[in-house]
């Protein structure tokens, strides 16, 4: 190879790092959102919960030493560096696949286009620009797979490096480790090679050492005397994913069709068929196809909207594989056209290559809009107004874990409302949380006893606590109906009074506190392009639905209709709002008929 093509390839390799790094840093969020609260608390607060997310935790701790930006912004830059690493690895894998298929001057350019198409796509960018996104898991898995491809076989040191990278992948995301293991298994089957005994020993050594280090750190941190929060062992995002607002999981196939289009997916399918059909590219293309198949094989169930998607790394790996396969399809089609004796074959091939690069710009533009729509203005307004509405020294009994993480994140980042105490009902059995809460407020003893014995509070426990400190709760349908007679709906929470209250108390409380809620409704409106955070909107919608049903059960007509109107502002044609209007209108008609 001459010096000019070598220089061009090196330039493309550096561009594959620089472009995603600069673009992603420029788009990174500057403050935390609901979805990033768990990674923020675990990473910046050094609160390991299980054997997932350890590389991200270490990187978030390291980001605190960057002398620029806020703590949340620096934590978001971890995803930007992960995107740059993933782009460089994808460039190398694409370059090897294209060179194995056909050596041409287009190889480096098409490899750059393949890497940027995947990394600058909206799906990848939303993850890379978010605090606690899944880009780190995808980057570590790609590094491990690149080590398998590039490091020489038969070398114990190479096997130890692969084992260490595989261990880091497992420590970051179990689903990413599953995709990596599947790709390696497919690669071994296609090549019909098995590792030697000393390679297996070296691999196991590299696999065990990081896991042992993380396990030791997890145990030591859990028994640390000055840990600001203790939730024990074995708790991670996978065990929390089904407890809050959820949405349908998006596969890489659906994300590619939405972000890039049908024609590029056809090119990726052509590249997969072409690569699998040729012996010299089959060993390189088969693991890429395995990445896509693993993502498609994962259950298309609902995942938490307020927590990182545990299947996110597999989706990003599959997107990277589709980008490489699309580049392979473009190369095969372009070279086939240039060798065909057809009219306008040469200009068509050139236009096809140019079209491949336009996918980069189209995806980058779409990802810019996606990251702007994901701005955390709404979550910041909700946090400011929601925490401000809690009375001094108040206690919030939270049924949703997302509210607890939001409160802890606000306290960790900005020291906001240290006087307010959050009692997460579903996490009380974790670690030493009950002991810490009891030390902060002895009046919690009856409530903690009731939750430990029956899973729900008694009227005596809540009334005793409400006598000691202002008490705010989330509505729980499993509670005794007598408890609802003590609830007064305020702007964000339901305040529990020690004595039963009447309709006039509920109406006066909503009128008095309603103005504070209007600001949140304005920034969460679907038509608001600047701050329409979906996660925050869903939190507000869930709260309004609970309040509307509570007021409907109390037959508070005016306040229930006002709540239904607010709900329809955020969720047009909402079923709960329609139910409230139907029930109240039916009650009015029945009353008029009876009066006649």
Phi then psi dihedrals of residue 417, to 5 deg? 50, 65
pLDDT, mean of residues 51-73: 85
- Do 129 and 28 contact (CB within 8 A), yes or no? yes
- Do 85 and 254 contact (CB within 8 A), yes or no? no
Kindly give the interhelix angle for 71-101 and 312-339, rounded to the nearest 10 degrees: 30
Looking at residue 594, its pLDDT comes to 44
Q: How far apart are CA 57 and CA 50, in angstroms?
A: 11
pLDDT above 50: residue 593: no
Q: How far apart are CA 513 and CA 20, in angstroms?
A: 46
Q: How far apart are CA 67 and CA 557, in angstroms?
A: 55
- Do 97 and 285 contact (CB within 8 A), yes or no? yes
pLDDT digits (tens, 9 = 90+) for 187-233: 989 988 887 888 889 899 999 998 888 888 877 776 777 677 777 66
Q: How far apart are CA 532 and CA 494, in angstroms?
A: 25
- Do 438 and 469 contact (CB within 8 A), yes or no? no
- Do 281 and 327 contact (CB within 8 A), yes or no? no
Residue 98 neighbours by CB under 8 Å, 6+ apart: 104, 106, 107, 110, 111, 327, 328, 331
Q: How far apart are CA 229 and CA 41, in angstroms?
A: 10
Burial class (CB in 10 A: 0-12, 13-18, 19+), 95: buried
Looking at residue 239, its pLDDT comes to 52
3-state secondary structure 396-446: EEECCHHHHHHHHHHHHHHCCCCCCEEEEHHHCCCCCHHHHHHHHCHHHHH
pLDDT confidence bin for 4, thresholds 50/70/90: low
pLDDT digits (tens, 9 = 90+) for 436-446: 888 888 999 99
The answer for 415, left when phi > 0, alpha when psi is -120 to 50, beta otherwise, is left
Tokens of 473: 């709760």
**What is this structure's pTM?**
0.85
pLDDT confidence bin for 22, thresholds 50/70/90: very high
Q: Do the strands 487-489 and 395-398 form a parallel or antiparallel pair, or are they unpaired?
A: unpaired
The answer for 445, left when phi > 0, alpha when psi is -120 to 50, beta otherwise, is alpha
Q: Based on C-alpha coordinates, what's the Rg of the chain? A: 28
Tokens of 448: 């903690």
- Do 339 and 349 contact (CB within 8 A), yes or no? no
Q: Do the strands 246-248 and 302-304 form a parallel or antiparallel pair, or are they unpaired?
A: antiparallel
Q: How far apart are CA 300 and CA 367, in angstroms?
A: 23
Burial class (CB in 10 A: 0-12, 13-18, 19+), 34: buried
pLDDT confidence bin for 595, thresholds 50/70/90: very low
Weakest-pLDDT range from 96-100, 140-144, 322-326, 368-372: 368-372
Q: How far apart are CA 280 and CA 97, in angstroms?
A: 9
Q: Which residues of 51-70 are buried (b: 16+ CB within 10 A; e: fewer)?
A: bbbbbbbbbbeebeeeeeee
pLDDT above 50: residue 234: yes
pLDDT digits (tens, 9 = 90+) for 455-469: 888 889 999 999 999
Residue 85 Cα to chain centre, angstroms: 19
Tokens of 471: 């008490």
Q: Of how many residues is the chain composed?
A: 596
DSSP bridge pairs for 303 = 247
Higher pLDDT, 30 or 24: 24
Tokens of 198: 């000393």
Weakest-pLDDT range from 71-75, 146-150, 589-593: 589-593
Q: How far apart are CA 513 and CA 28, in angstroms?
A: 34
Task: Please count the other Cβ atoms lying within 10 Å of the Cβ belonging to residue 302.
Answer: 13
Q: Compute the mean pLDDT over every residue in the chain, rounded to the nearest whole number.
A: 82
C-alpha distances in Å from residue 452, one per residue of 230, 232, 438: 18, 17, 13
Q: How far apart are CA 313 and CA 295, in angstroms?
A: 9
pLDDT digits (tens, 9 = 90+) for 74-131: 888 999 999 999 999 999 999 999 888 877 767 888 899 999 999 998 889 888 888 8
Give the three-state DSSP class for 488. strand
Looking at residue 531, its pLDDT comes to 41
The answer for 261, left when phi > 0, alpha when psi is -120 to 50, beta otherwise, is left
pLDDT confidence bin for 529, thresholds 50/70/90: very low
Residue 88 neighbours by CB under 8 Å, 6+ apart: 13, 16, 17, 115
Looking at residue 138, its pLDDT comes to 93
What is the helix (H) or strand (E) element at residue 280, kind and residue range?
A: helix 279-297
């Amino acid at each position: 190879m001459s010096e000019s093509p070598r220089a061009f390839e090196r330039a493309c390799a550096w561009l594959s790092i620089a472009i995603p790094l600069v673009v992603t840093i420029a788009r990174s969020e500057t403050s935390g959102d609901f979805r990033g609260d768990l990674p923020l608390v675990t990473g910046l607060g050094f609160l390991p919960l299980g054997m997932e997310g350890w590389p991200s935790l270490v990187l978030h701790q390291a980001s605190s030493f960057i002398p620029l930006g806020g703590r949340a912004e620096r934590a978001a830059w971890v995803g930007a560096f992960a995107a740059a690493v993933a782009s460089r690895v994808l460039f190398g894998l694409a370059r090897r696949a294209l060179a194995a298929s056909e050596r041409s001057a287009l190889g480096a350019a098409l490899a750059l286009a393949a890497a940027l198409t995947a990394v600058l796509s909206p799906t990848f960018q939303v993850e890379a620009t978010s605090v606690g996104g899944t880009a780190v898991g995808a980057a570590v898995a790609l590094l491990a797979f690149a080590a398998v491809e590039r490091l020489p076989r038969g070398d114990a040191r190479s096997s130890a490096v692969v084992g260490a990278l595989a261990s880091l992948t497992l420590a970051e995301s179990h689903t990413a480790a599953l995709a990596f293991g599947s790709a390696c298994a497919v690669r071994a089957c296609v090549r019909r090679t098995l590792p030697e005994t000393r390679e297996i020993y070296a691999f196991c050594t590299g696999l065990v050492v990081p896991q042992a280090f993380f396990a030791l750190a997890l145990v030591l941190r859990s028994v640390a005397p000055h840990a600001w929060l203790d939730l024990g062992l074995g708790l991670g995002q996978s065990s929390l994913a089904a407890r809050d607002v959820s949405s349908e999981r998006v596969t890489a196939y659906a994300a590619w069709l939405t972000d890039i289009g049908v024609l590029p997916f056809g090119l990726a399918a052509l590249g997969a068929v072409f690569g699998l059909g040729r012996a010299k590219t089959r060993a390189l293309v088969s693991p890429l196809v395995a990445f896509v198949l693993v993502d498609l094989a994962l259950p298309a169930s609902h995942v938490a909207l307020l927590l990182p998607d545990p299947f996110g790394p597999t989706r990003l790996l599959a997107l990277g594989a589709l980008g490489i396969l699309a580049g392979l399809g473009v190369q095969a089609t372009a070279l086939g056209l240039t060798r065909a004796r057809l009219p306008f074959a040469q200009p068509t091939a050139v236009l096809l290559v140019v079209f491949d690069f336009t996918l980069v710009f189209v995806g980058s533009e779409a990802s810019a809009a996606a990251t702007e729509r994901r701005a955390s203005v709404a979550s910041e307004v909700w946090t400011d107004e929601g925490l401000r509405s809690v009375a001094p020294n108040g206690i919030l009994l939270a049924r949703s874990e997302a509210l607890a993480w939001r409160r802890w994140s606000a306290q960790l980042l900005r020291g906001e409302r240290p006087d307010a105490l959050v009692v997460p009902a579903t996490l009380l059995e974790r670690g030493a949380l009950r002991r810490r809460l009891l030390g902060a407020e002895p009046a919690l003893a009856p409530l903690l006893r009731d939750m430990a014995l029956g899973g729900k509070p008694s009227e005596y426990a809540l009334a005793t606590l409400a006598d000691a400190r202002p008490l705010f709760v989330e509505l729980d349908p499993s509670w005794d109906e007598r408890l609802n007679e003590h609830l007064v709906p305020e702007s964000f929470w339901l305040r529990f009074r020690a004595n039963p209250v009447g309709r006039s108390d509920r109406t006066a409380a909503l009128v008095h506190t309603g103005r504070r809620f209007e600001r949140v409704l304005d920034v969460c409106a679907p038509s608001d392009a600047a701050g329409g955070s979906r996660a925050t909107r869903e939190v507000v919608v869930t709260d309004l639905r609970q309040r509307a049903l509570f007021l409907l059960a109390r037959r508070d007509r005016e306040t229930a209709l006002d709540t239904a109107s607010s709900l329809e502002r955020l969720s047009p044609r909402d079923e709960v709002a329609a139910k409230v209007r139907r029930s109240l209108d039916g009650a009015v008609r029945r009353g008029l008929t009876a009066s006649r």
